[in-house]
């Protein structure tokens, strides 16, 4: 199937482009960006012109920041194209709901992707936890915004999510591996005095079985990056590291370690191809609901200014 990629930034170049190129399902036949391009692929700076001139493109994959994403997604759906959304799928829950309604009305596929759910050991962690008695689950997600979003001031503007841009990855794993739903009980949002979105956050959740569930997110980590989830159960302790790429049970590793985002985006594009073929929609918004609740319920603390 022919596919267009919109927004040629770091994540598109590093993950989307090579995943499409390696896939038997897709041919990248157009890009839309104000700045970036992909060698050998027709490049457009006008989205509507790309749609008009390429009626054979069935699918549009959107790698734009969250705030402008709704407008592009709605235009693509109204033009009869299936749509794949980079995480988070939008800037608000309401606009995501509107996109789903539009896709259903048009008979089109819509996919809110959560790439961290495709990390190598996430499914194994879900299976292990399915019949366990959870006592505590602790998420530690610390990374360097300067490394992953160099100079991207939009991430600290309204709608940019701040530290929840990576934090929502952790929440996407948690909402997949836990066998029961949880909801936010309290949050602390640490916001630089010169920014609009948090650079760090601490979250506490209510668990129906009484387990302690807590998350610590920080965008100021230097040196080694930390992406871990530890689940302490009556039957043993599970530890996910490398963002879900490695799993330990009671300190013993299970399988080989997959680092970085290895395998995650190829699996997302395979899932999108399956959705298009069967006419399906996947718009699970549970990770985004937790973030929205944190902004609703969280206590704000002002911290030192931050500049790239």
For tokens 């992406």, the residue is 227
Query: How many Å apart are CA 272 and CA 275, to the nearest integer?
Result: 5
Cα separation, 61 vs 54, whole angstroms:
14
* Ramachandran angles phi, psi of 139, nearest 5°: -110, 130
Contact between 300 and 191 under an 8 Å Cβ cutoff? The reply is yes
Any catalytic annotation for residue 87?
A: yes
* Catalytic choice (87, 132, 176, 278): 87
The residue whose two tokens read 């944190």 is: 294
Tokens at 162, concatenated: 């701040």
Active-site residue set: 87
């Amino acid at each position: 199937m022919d596919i267009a990629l919109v927004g040629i930034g770091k994540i598109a170049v590093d993950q989307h482009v090579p995943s499409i190129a390696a896939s038997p399902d897709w041919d990248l036949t157009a890009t839309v960006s104000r700045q970036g391009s992909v060698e050998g692929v027709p490049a457009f700076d006008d989205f509507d012109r790309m749609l008009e001139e390429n009626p054979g493109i069935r699918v549009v994959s959107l790698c734009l920041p969250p705030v402008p994403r709704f407008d592009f997604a709605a235009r693509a759906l109204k033009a009869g194209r299936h749509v794949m959304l980079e995480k988070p799928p939008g800037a608000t829950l309401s606009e995501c709901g509107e996109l789903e309604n539009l896709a259903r009305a048009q008979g089109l596929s819509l996919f809110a992707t959560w790439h961290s759910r495709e990390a190598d050991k996430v499914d194994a962690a879900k299976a292990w936890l399915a019949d366990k008695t959870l006592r505590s689950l602790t998420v530690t997600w610390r990374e360097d915004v300067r490394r992953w979003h160099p100079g991207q001031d939009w991430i600290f503007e309204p709608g940019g999510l701040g530290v929840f841009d990576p934090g929502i990855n952790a929440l996407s794993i948690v909402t997949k591996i836990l066998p029961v739903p949880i909801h936010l009980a309290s949050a602390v949002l640490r916001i630089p005095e010169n920014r609009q979105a948090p650079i760090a956050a601490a979250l506490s959740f209510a668990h129906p079985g009484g387990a302690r569930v807590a998350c610590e997110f920080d965008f100021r980590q230097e040196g080694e990056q930390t992406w871990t989830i530890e689940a302490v159960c009556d039957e043993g302790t599970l530890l996910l590291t490398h963002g879900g790429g490695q799993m330990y049970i009671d300190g013993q590793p299970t399988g080989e370690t997959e680092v970085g985002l290895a395998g995650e985006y190829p699996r997302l594009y395979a899932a999108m191809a399956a959705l298009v073929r069967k006419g399906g929609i996947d718009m699970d918004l549970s990770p985004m609901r937790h973030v929205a609740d944190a902004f609703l319920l969280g206590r704000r603390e002002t911290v030192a200014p931050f500049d790239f």
